[in-house]
Structure 1
Amino acid sequence: MSPAVGSADASALSTEELAAVADRMARAGADLAGPLSARLIAGGRSNLTYRLQDLAAEDGRAWVLRMPPRRGRTPSAHDVAREFRVTSALASTVVPVPPAVVLCEEETALGLPFAVTEFVDGRTIQSRRDLESLEDGTLDTVVGALCGTLAALHSVDHVAVGLERFGRPDGYAARQVRRWSGQWEIVGDPPLTPLATELGQKLAATTFRQQSTGIVHGDYRIDNTLLAFDDGAGGGVAARVAAVVDWELSTIGDPVADVAMMCVYRHSALDLVLGEPSAWTSDRLPDADALAAAYGSAGGVELVDWDAHLALGYFKLAVIAAGIDHRYRAGATHGEGFDSAGQAVEPLLRAGLQRI
């Protein structure tokens, strides 16, 4: 989820903190010429994302630092170590990811764990305004690149790349139901608990047939990628995915759930979660069924129990929205965009109930 710059958690890193980060990077082999500067950039709603710049380097080298918010954290929702491990494993595959630099799980440097990757030059398409700059033909290649990259991710042998213990391979949907039901108990708004409980119970009573297992991103859509644009055939512009980012919800599981989540994000309630008209809810993009078909055409897995997975996706997004609202009401975040997430919860829960 994209942050509102200026949230209470998004304060600048101190000189001492930046020196500690530079020390960890140097120990990991990063070539630093001088002190670091840090600027908050667009990243996840739950994790803070900074661009680090080497102030003394003539080539303008840069990195990206990810860390949890300082207040209002919920269990397992800000796992930068998880992000670092999966992107490190994917470095040897065709899936484009930011090159890993260092993971610091101890909390002595910043008071929180953090991870640093190399900066990837690419374009983010987050808002409706960003999307307006793309012609329809270019947008078609963006959708194709997104679906192709997700299919490529699901084709990776997670055991071969060292992620055998990254998650349990079977029973993914049942674990997700339990996880997000548990998260609701922490962050849910009491007046909506009957709806959430009803959907959670119906999902818990559903038998999901998991016919494939692979790496699941868990939060895949256009604004969790960095895009590159090249001259295409016939003078057009073709898009490719330069890097997939925001892996904090990744695990080993059922790839069908990943596709369903991508399609669930097409719901208009995503605009309330993000606090602005988002690129991914635009009617210029294919609907959920067309997206699923494009994924299949790109060589993706068979979409078994599709409606049930969509219902689970709506439940997950509803709980994520409730979590953002929970932190907002707790005073852990403020600023433009955070105050509307709570309004998304009820329509998402109802959409899930309609699907189940």
Structure 2
Amino acid sequence: MNPPGLDLDRLRAHLDAHRPGLVAGDLTADVVEGGRSNLTYVVSDGRSRWVVRRPPLGHVLPTAHDMTREFRVISGLRDTAVPVPEAILLCEDADVVGAQFYVMSFVEGTPYRSAEELAELGEARTRVIADALVDTLVDLHAVDPAAVGLGDFGRPEGFLERQLRRWKKQLDASRSRDLDGIEELHDRLAATVPVSGKPSIIHGDYRLDNVLVDKNDTISAVLDWEMSTLGDPLTDLALLVAYAERDKVSLQFVSNASSAPGYPTTDQVVARYAERSGRDVAQLDWYVSFAFFKLAVILEGIHYRHSKGQTVGAGFEGVGAGVPLLITHGNEILKEEK
């Protein structure tokens, strides 16, 4: 039986034509739950398993869900210290299954999404996993983009300024109510944009539930590269820090793994990253404040669409209530800067 968005007969025919001998039998597939954007399937022929990724159903802006981008970055990182699945096949012909897609190897591991899951492992193992998360981020940021064929993967010059303009434009497109402090936060950020250090490949949404952890408590794969580019690596670290503040700012849709016993504090995470990477984190407060601004814009967009009846499913009712907390926290961080 075909899952939504994936015709298994057409997929099998395409694989047989372009990777003969890969598939040994009829294909079955299960949709992987948990993703909020691109669709992910685990596909099997009864002997082997693979993962297929494609854009959301009905999506008409392929540049926003570019399978080529994801495929290219995991291909480039294959022989680096960053663990990624093997990139097997990219199909840019939307006629095959209704959208471009790519196939990668199936990697064993657990995406820990909650403090409760980590608590079952105990404090010592939780600390090992969290430290591995930081160390893998350091490894990613140490990769020379040009050396792995990703020298043109983005435009690091002016990256922070472009990001700030992009999210301000997104905010203006989702205006439906007054948001006290949002203009102040934007203006403070715009007036104090730091000078970026050495650019790197950045993940764009790096967190524990976007990696797989194996039975030895090591990271077996980093997943969900749809927001990756070349830019300022401290944006990855800052988002990791911002997610850890979920309880302070009511980010209920974000994993609460960082509250598990044994998980390092924000200061410990930042110190480990700084020590192992050698990067200057003195201006990290700006990046964390910007992360809260970006999250506020994302949630306000969801609130706006929900108010217009354009969201599907439950759980969107309270999203808008969290936006003011993000704005307040972002402003407080900048005001505390010396």
Q: Is it true that 1:242 corresponds to 2:229 in the alignment?
A: no
Please say if residues 212 and 221 of structure 2, whose CA atoms lie closer than 8 Å, have aligned partners that are also in contact.
yes
What is the percentage of aligned positions where both structures have the same residue?
A: 37
Contact 1:147 1:298 in 2 (8 A): no
| Helix, strand or coil at the partner of 1:191 | coil
Residue type matched to 1:266 in 2?
A
* Distance change in 2, residues 1:339/1:284 (3 Å): farther
C-alpha distance in 2, partners of 1:325/1:111?
30
Partner residue of 2:184?
A: 198
The partner residue of 1:140 within 114, 127, 141 is: 127
Aligned to 1:301: 279
How do 1:1-356 and structure 2 match up within 5 A? 12-13=3-4, 17-29=7-19, 31-54=22-45, 57=46, 59=47, 61-71=48-58, 77-186=64-173, 188-192=174-178, 195-230=181-216, 239-268=217-246, 273=251, 275=253, 278-282=256-260, 284-325=262-303, 330-335=309-314, 337-356=315-334
Give the partner amino acid of 1:21.
L
Give the letter for the 2:313 counterpart.
H
Structure 1, unmatched stretches of 5+, are: 1-10, 231-238
Task: Please give the secondary structure, in 2, of the residue aligned with 1:91.
Answer: coil
How many residue pairs are counted as aligned between the two chains? 331
Matched residue of 2:327: which SS? helix
Provide the TM-score with structure 1 as the length reference: 0.83
Residue identity opposite 2:82 in structure 1 = V
Task: Report the alpha carbon displacement of residue 212 of structure 1 after superposing the two structures with TM.
Answer: 1.3
1:259-305 per-residue CA deviation (whole Å, 9 max, x = no partner) reads 11111111225996554763235465223222111212333522142
Distance 2:96 2:251 in 1: 32
Residue 120 of structure 1 deviates from its aligned partner by 0.5
Residue type at the aligned position of 2:39: L
1:310-332 Cα shifts (integer Å, max 9, x gaps): 11111222233334445555444
Aligned partner of 1:234 in structure 2 is none
Higher relative contact order (CA closer than 8 Å, sequence separation 6+): 1
Q: Distance in 2 between matches of 1:242 and 1:147?
A: 14
CA RMSD of aligned residues (A): 2.7
Q: Give the residue type in structure 2 aligned to 1:244.
A: V
- 3-state SS in 2 of match to 1:82: helix
Distance 1:276 1:172, change over 3 A: closer
Task: Work out the CA distance in 1 between the residues paired with 2:261 and 2:303.
Answer: 26
* 1:235 alignment counterpart: none
Task: Check conservation: 1:154, 1:255, Cα contact below 8 A.
Answer: yes
Deviation at 1:142, TM superposition (A): 0.7
Give the conservation status (yes or no) of the 8 Å contact 1:145–1:241. Answer: yes
Return the offset for 1:339: 4.3
After superposing the two structures, state which structure 1 stretch, 152-161 or 78-87, moved more.
78-87
2:127–2:264 Cα contact (<8 Å) kept: no
Residue 193 of structure 2 contacts residue 286 of structure 2 at CA under 8 Å; is this kept in 1?
A: no
Amino acid at match of 1:166: F
How many angstroms does 1:171 deviate by? 1.8
118-127 or 61-70: bigger deviation: 61-70
1:92 shift after superposition: 1.5
Native 8 Å contact 1:51 1:64 kept in 2: yes
Mapped to 1, the partners of 2:196 and 2:114 lie a distance apart of 34
Equivalent-residue separation in structure 1 for 2:241 and 2:109 (angstroms): 23
TM-score (normalised: structure 2): 0.87
Residue identity opposite 1:140 in structure 2: R
Distance 1:14 1:157 in 2: 36
SS in 2 for 1:265: helix
Report the CA distance between 1:159 and its aligned residue. 0.8
Structure 2: gaps of 5 or more residues: none
